[in-house]
Chain A
Amino acid sequence: SSELTQDPAVSVALGQTVRITCQGDSLRSCYASWYQQKPGQAPVLVIYGKNNRPSGIPDRFSGSSSGNTASLTITGAQGEDEADYYCKSRDRSGNHLVFGGGSKLTVL
């Protein structure tokens, strides 16, 4: 089982705000990075570090962290945001990495 726990399914109305969470003990000492994956495509990095977006990622994507929980927030969700989202962090050993189980986002 994954050391990072995500809700399997999340939904949001078009234009509304949604928060996707990721829980795990390692998140008390490490930041999560977040990846978006659409069907048949490779993952894309959307948030890394405290709250950094790679170039080309819209500013409606943001990240935050509190205690053992990391969150990815999409403010004003668009239809093209419908995808699977994965968090990733170092594991408790520090040298290995672990992905969350993924959250399937549906934009209604």
Chain B
Amino acid sequence: EVQLVESGGGLVQPGGSLRLSCAASGFTFSSYWMSWVRQAPGKGLEWVAYIKQDGSEKYYVDSVKGRFTISRDNAKNSLYLQMNSLRAEDTAVYYCARVGWWELLYVAFDIWGQGTMVTVSS
């Protein structure tokens, strides 16, 4: 079964750090771009970052650039999101997603994890 399972969420104080993990199974992880998407409570979806198959290309939404780092370990079939200098506005459910189609004219996320909650509060 194709599956993504996130972990690492929790409560952290403003200015703190957290590392999210996403364990992939049921497919050849190293063949796919991967992404993180977040959703603040009661709000819409926001793309956060994505990373190429070999980690050579990474892109971030402006609001997290310089604070968050996406990475992957293909040997462990795992995706990560290191989050530093966390702010209250980073509070959200964070989803790991597989980029099923990476084309010039579109990018589509075909597999999603169940999400992990990150709460930034004092």
Contacts and interface: CB of A to CB of B under 8 A. Distances in A.
B109 A33 contact: yes
Interface residues of B, number: 23
A31 interface: yes
B110 A102 contact: no
B68 interface: no
A31 B102 CA distance: 12
Contacts of A96: 47, 59, 61
Given A42-B114, A43-B112, A96-B59, A33 B47 contact: no
Interface residues of A, number: 28
12 contacts: A30-B106, A32-B106, A33-B108, A42-B95, A44-B112, A48-B100, A48-B106, A49-B105, A54-B110, A89-B106, A97-B50, A101-B44
Given A30-B106, A48-B100, 17 more contacts: A30-B105, A33-B108, A35-B45, A42-B112, A42-B115, A43-B45, A43-B95, A43-B112, A45-B100, A45-B110, A48-B101, A48-B110, A49-B105, A49-B106, A54-B110, A84-B44, A96-B47
Interface of A: 2, 29-33, 35, 37, 42-45, 48-49, 54, 84, 86, 88-90, 95-102
